[in-house]
Amino acid sequence: MRSRNAYNSWSNKTMIWARNAISVIQIDLAFLTLALLSSTEVECGRDGYTKLLDFQAINCRKHSAVLTDFGGKGDGKTSNTKAFQSAISQLSQLAPDGGAQLIVPPGQWLTGSFNLTSHFTLYIHKEAIILASQDESEWPVISPLPSYGRGTDAPGGRFISLIFGTNLTDVVITGGNGTIDGQDSCSNIRIEDCYIVSGDDCIAVKSGWDEYGISFGVPTQHLIIRRLTCISPDSAVIALGSEMSGGIQDVRAEDITGISSQSGVRIKTAVGRGAYVKDIYVKGMKLYTMKYVFWMTGNYGSHPDNGFNPQAFPVIQNINYRDITAQNVSMPADLEGIQDHPFTGICISNASINLSANPKKVLWNCSNIAGVSSKVSPQPCNLLPNKEPMSCGFPADTLPIDNVMLKNCSGSGTYI
């Protein structure tokens, strides 16, 4: 999953990730749990915390420390790279003894890249801002993601991410606020109670790019998205792809609100991507002032190099939308599959779409797709014939991530 937007704002957040590989927080092929959660106010003195903080996480830690214990200065000018690195290096030694958490107190904390560690919690106070250093020497160049083969904007390596880690287990990021970008190739994820304002897709689900993603072969799967509100004027509320060459499967989205956004749930792919986007389920979506409600694109995006396989056709199948309401919409659907490799098993039921004052002349643009519809207004294209009565599918089973319960944790500035 990835979000390339310039600005994301999340509030009342609950996110749980497992076996995650992410870019700004780069956890490759790891079992990672990440929670961005609201927490209680903490009283702070000049020298640190005077009261315990309380928050929820998957695992609590036995030991606690504050960044200032390691020489950190939150003045927005002093580099804290060494402070972060020293803190996490020392706290990593406590992993066998119940783990540790590092508290980032109020302030502006200028830093270069630092690595996370296993059995670790990074707590960011709601009045704390982590600022990326403008000193290029604090950003070493590392190899491209193996599932991408090169940078998405230019060939070669990539600057290391602000917060980095590989092969980690049991990592929590929490606090009063947060912005997280760039999650790819994830399994067993739960995203709940998010409010996102974005310059790009609010939630983008990805899994690798062309031959590199095919070779790497790690899908994004078993993803739950609930109670999401998104404002994204130029992009989608939820996007699947276009980099999806490891596969995307079993995405369950419900109780979704989109406001002044380009589209609801969008599928993006292209020849050369290979793999699949299948078993996608969306229900209970409310949209206001949209360009599209349904949008699928089979000729999206560029390629990392000329080594992609022109015979690697993506499989798009079993895509389900139900219980949709939309107001002030320019065009209900733009659904374009791939010639001779149509997108199949598309199902839309119980969808009521009210058009804008100046809608597009063609309301449903459909090509190289196959599916059915039921109780949809305005009437869909001929490639989605009406089938009455019928409701599109949504799984009744429970994913393992839904059984993960958050614990009530606390911490203070008492180091070790």
Q: What is the phi/psi pair of residue 145, to 5°? A: -60, 135
Q: Is 325 exposed, middle or buried (0-12, 13-18, 19+ CB in 10 A)?
A: middle
- Cβ atoms of 267 and 297 within 8 Å: the answer is yes
CA 308 to chain centre: 26
Annotated catalytic residue 200 = yes
Helix (H) or strand (E) holding 222: strand 220-231
Q: Measure the CA–CA gap between 135 and 122, rounded to whole angstroms.
A: 24
Residue in 174, 202, 127 with CA at minimum distance from that of residue 16: 174
Point out the catalytic residue in the list 28, 181, 184, 200: 200
- Cβ atoms of 147 and 158 within 8 Å: the answer is no
- 114 φψ region: left (φ > 0), alpha (ψ -120 to 50), beta (else): beta
| Partners of 142 in beta bridges | 158
CA distances from 237 to 3, 175, 193, 221, 315 (A): 11, 24, 14, 18, 22
Which two three-digit tokens encode residue 126? 């709601």
- Cβ atoms of 386 and 368 within 8 Å: the answer is no
Integer Rg of the chain from CA? 22
Catalytic positions: 200
